Amino acid sequence: MTPSARIQAAIDLLDAIIASARDGGPAADTLIARYFKERRYAGSRDRRAVRDHVYDAIRRAAERPETGRAAMIGVALERPDMAALFDGSTHAPLPIEPGETGAEAGAVPEWLQGLLADKVEQDALLGRAPVDLRVNRLKATPEAVAPALPDATSIAGLPDGLRLPEGFPVEQQAAWKDGLVEVQDAGSQWIAAACGVQPGMTVVDLCAGAGGKTLALAGAMARRGTLVAADTIRSRLARLEPRAARADATFIETLLLDQSHEARGLESLNGQVDVVLVDAPCSGTGTWRRNPEARWRLTQARLDRLVAEQARILDFAAPLLAPGGALVYATCALTEREGRGQVDAFLARHAGWTAEPIDLPVGRAHGAGLLLTPGHDGSDGFFFARLRREG
């Protein structure tokens, strides 16, 4: 592909991504993979260049552009070398007309500006994320893993955390294939640490998904105790099984819950659990470094639904805790409603619960919990709090 043809390919892909974001269709990565599967003639350099163009345009535009051309022109008008590739030649985009404008640059959609926590450094939300790893204590130690990953550096305050450069092909490494390490953002590792689980406890990861935090909890429990990974989506839980096998964490129990009737499936655990982790469905505003396209999908109506769902999950999670048990609430979101506001509302609804300080060398106190942000902590953005049921 010529450089100009790569620009046109990026425009075509952006058109598809914009439509998919508007209509709730497949994610950008899925559409890019499909595009090149149908175009075998594109070499690896072509694919990498087109993908870079697409994500440059996505990262630049906070609001969903009208067209892929507008998204790409927004980038090109800031880069004369790229603007020159709009030359109208074969497979190239038409020349940029005098006065033709591109998508406006920005980090956060205008409607969302006032809803983010006031400690969020907005420009850092779109920086490129490194590859963070957690050493799996069920099979290895950091000292044993280090020689196999010489490019890795330690993460301050996380004894099992390692950091690799952005884009490092970790899944091609023997350490990953053998289950010695798991890919896990430092923020997620901090949340697992905040749970304070110990061997012999009964622990429930209530919104387990594919089980990243479940596996971190498993490492802390050393195969002793009961660890339940629960979710309402079968395909998510199915992804945990091979990960648990690779990590030698096969003592994890999975529990598929019926959406909207989760409490029925959890009744046998009521009053018996030492720690419940609620890593709730959220807006994902803290993960824009990895998924900048999410800005184009989030709406006020969707945010309202998420806030209501988070409150509902917290309400059926609470009865699971034994007296003195801890409920850890976490979201990879940086809006006040999903974080500090959600915890304040829970405490107002439920007597006999208190928020307790979380002693970690990271983040900033925010209401009853801690706020992690890419700009301050170098991790994805999270809010999390630990709530204790009085004995």
> Which amino acid, one-letter code, is at 259?
Q
- Residue 125: phi and psi, rounded to 5, are -65, -20
Per the residue annotation, which of 195, 207, 282, 332 is the catalytic one?
332
- Is residue 207 part of the annotated active site? The answer reads no
Rounded to whole angstroms, the Cα distance separating 27 from 17 reads: 7
Enzyme catalytic residues: 332
